[in-house]
Amino acid sequence: MEAQELREAYIDFFKARGHAQIRSASLVPENDPTVLFTTAGMHPLVPYLLGEKHPAGTRLTDFQKCVRTGDIDEVGDASHLTFFEMLGNWSLGDYFKKDSITWSYQLLQEVLHIPPELLAVTAFAGDDDAPKDTETAEIWEAQGIAKDHIFFLPKEDNWWGPAGQTGPCGPDTEIFFIDKTKKPCGPECRPGCHCGYYTEIWNNVFMQYFKDKDGKFTPLKQKNVDTGMGLERALRVVNHVETVYDTPLFQPIISKIEELSGKKYADNMKAFRVISDHMRASTFLIADGVVPARMGGGYILRRLIRRASRYMSQLDVEGVRLAEVSEVVIRDYSKAYPELEANRETILSTITAEEEKFHSTLKKGLRRFDEVVANNGDCKVLNGEEVFHLYDTFGFPVELTRELAAERGYTVDEEDFQKRFKQHQETSRMDTNQVFKGGLVDHSVETTKLHTATHLLNAALRNLIDPDIRQKGSNITAERLRFDFNFDRKLEPEEIAKIEKYVNDAIKADIPVVCEEMTLEEARARNAIGVFDNKYGEKVKVYTIGDVSCEICGGPHVQHTGELQGFKIQKEQSSAAGVRRIKAVVGKFD
């Protein structure tokens, strides 16, 4: 089965059951920018899972592009990916467990054609907060899943949320494919085990409780269903292949790398997998407006491109060739994601420029390696600190350092390097998890004010500085907003003063903030700010602030601008090439 065939079959299945198809959101969260990237299918729908009305209704379905970066260094094995797609269907206060499970089973049988005996499912085992989810188990059994294929697992395995200290949460049921070509690792083997006997392919979350600040769980008035099926994993199962890299999604990319390198995938699996995964992710990120930079999402993009380039060098590919790999991604994914073809030139030029910069950095790293060896004296072991510095600063994989060291009769302090490397990984994961967590839960009064302030700031920049200014990214915490925009020079002090006055005049006017649902055509006719491509569904929310601002947005916003009290720019600086950044706060100022 091809990827597009599965996407269409999934969407058609749920459309036939009353679901409206919504388009994939951007990898850079639209107007909810407290996160780096969209990391799950449910991420763009958080406001609606929390109770806001969705323009498309209460039954939704889509395929969503996602990026997760906590395990970049693990990519290259049989399972880890940074970029992936999630097939999803949602009920926003509509159907619940019975319909969700019944339809999931039907799709597994009618679309994926997986025999019931090769399926295992889980349900929540119950604890002091919520009872054992026997209802879910009974529904699965009624579908035809054998009792000994239904596993009750504790909260750490079968409970979603809340994303923060408080919020919606509830039990989930996970669906696993049983790989009969493998054997269970032992009598305790169960779904969730990492031996490979069970592969998770789908997860249905039943948001039926609210956890308050005291840790009490109470039933929600609006009970939601949030499901997610990994496209790559599902393709692996239905095509009966060993790994996701053996699916039709990756084979054309791998063939291109074989052509460029003159080497075989079977002999260089890790290098081929890293390049394939990282170029998929990089291609999609650039299409959604991310540019290589020293911080944030731009830093992640830079790291992906440079890691892919390292592995191209290991395959003895000469010159700057990653863009040729990206062209395969653009060709094969553009039907599902037209923004790739629309941004072809930007994607390819960005990748080429970054790879050229990295080649220059590699030369500096080789000089640094020579210095390390020269300074090592009679000691024939390179210490872990220096080896990690070569990795972290110059992009040298430890394999390259080890090889260079061996050529000169040196070895590497592997234990010290691994200790530092693991500390680095853990820090990266913590940072990634914290960023994602903030984006899901922080819809406080303060962040709502700052969210509205970004609309006023955007309007000020376009009206006072340049009508072609567009938002290139932002980040909102309870303390301040950060707004990135395309502009090729530093703002002058008098320009910053004018921007502050423009926003503060709008605040003093206490203008109503009006939300309306309309079609894309109606939004375009209103001159609403938005990228009129495939980001939006048939209906959108448009927030209008008098004659100051009109933007497509998912919210949340204040009801009147006066609630912001005041606006002050703290800093204006460069974010990346051709991108400036403003940090600002709202509140009372003397």
CATH of the domain at 550: 3.30.980.10
Identify the helix (H) or strand (E) that includes residue 457: helix 445-464
Tell me which of 393, 408, 441 is where a domain ends. 441
In a domain, 413, yes or no: yes
Same domain, 96 and 39: yes
- The DSSP code for 245 is G
Identify the helix (H) or strand (E) that includes residue 563: none
Same domain, 23 and 157: yes
Q: How many whole angstroms separate alpha carbon 229 and alpha carbon 200?
A: 9
pLDDT at 430: 56
pLDDT at 442: 52
Same domain, 143 and 257: no
* Number of domains making up the chain: 4
CB 517 within 8 A of CB 538: no
Q: How many whole angstroms separate alpha carbon 287 and alpha carbon 26?
A: 9
Write out the residue range of the structural domain in which residue 14 sits.
Answer: 3-242
Q: How many whole angstroms separate alpha carbon 242 and alpha carbon 79?
A: 10
CB 85 within 8 A of CB 65: yes
Q: How many whole angstroms separate alpha carbon 163 and alpha carbon 165?
A: 7
- The DSSP code for 144 is T
CB 583 within 8 A of CB 477: no
By C-alpha distance, which of 57, 50, 49, 62 is closest to 12?
62
Same domain, 576 and 436: no
In a domain, 278, yes or no: yes
Q: How many whole angstroms separate alpha carbon 42 and alpha carbon 530?
A: 21
In a domain, 105, yes or no: yes
Q: Helix, strand, coil: what percent of the chain each, to 5? A: 45, 20, 35
By C-alpha distance, which of 258, 234, 230, 304 is closest to 76?
304
Same domain, 286 and 357: yes
Q: Residue 271 carries which side chain, given as an amino acid letter?
A: A
Q: How many whole angstroms separate alpha carbon 427 and alpha carbon 520?
A: 42
The reply to whether omega before 493 is within 30° of 0 (cis) is no
Same domain, 75 and 177: yes
Same domain, 275 and 170: no
In a domain, 164, yes or no: yes
- The DSSP code for 413 is -
- The DSSP code for 47 is H
What CATH number is given to the structural domain containing 201? 3.30.930.10
Same domain, 321 and 430: no
Same domain, 140 and 230: yes
Helices 3-15, 97-110: inter-axial angle, 10-degree rounding: 140
In a domain, 368, yes or no: no
Buried b (16+ CB within 10 A) or exposed e, 104-132: bbebbeebbebeeeebbbbbbbbeeebee
Q: How many whole angstroms separate alpha carbon 133 and alpha carbon 125?
A: 6
Buried b (16+ CB within 10 A) or exposed e, 244-274: bbbbbbbeebbebbbebbebebeebbebbbb
Residue 108, token pair as written in the block: 């597994």
Tell me which of 208, 242, 276 is where a domain ends. 242
Same domain, 224 and 276: no
**In the chain, which stretches have pLDDT less than 50?**
432-441, 532-534
The reply to whether omega before 292 is within 30° of 0 (cis) is no
Torsion of CA 341, 347, 352, 354, to 10 degrees: -170
CB 536 within 8 A of CB 552: yes
- Long-range pairs of 249-255 with CB within 8 A, sequence gap ≥ 24: 249/3, 249/332, 250/276, 252/328, 252/331, 252/332, 253/279, 253/280, 253/325, 253/328, 253/329, 253/332
CB 232 within 8 A of CB 83: no
SS3 497: helix
- The DSSP code for 75 is B
CB 451 within 8 A of CB 476: yes
CB 449 within 8 A of CB 586: yes
By C-alpha distance, which of 113, 99, 110, 90 is closest to 40?
90
Residue 212: how many other CB atoms lie within 10 Å: 12
pLDDT at 441: 44
Q: How many whole angstroms separate alpha carbon 271 and alpha carbon 264?
A: 11
Question: Which is it for strands 159-160 and 567-576: parallel, antiparallel or unpaired?
Answer: unpaired
Cα atoms found within 13 Å of the Cα of residue 96, Cβ hemisphere only: 13
Tell me which of 319, 338, 363 is where a domain ends. 363
Buried b (16+ CB within 10 A) or exposed e, 345-365: eebbebbbbbbeebeeebeeb
Q: Is the dihedral of CA 271, 273, 279, 281 positive or negative?
A: negative
Same domain, 276 and 352: yes
Same domain, 264 and 348: yes
CB 207 within 8 A of CB 170: yes
In a domain, 477, yes or no: yes
In a domain, 432, yes or no: yes
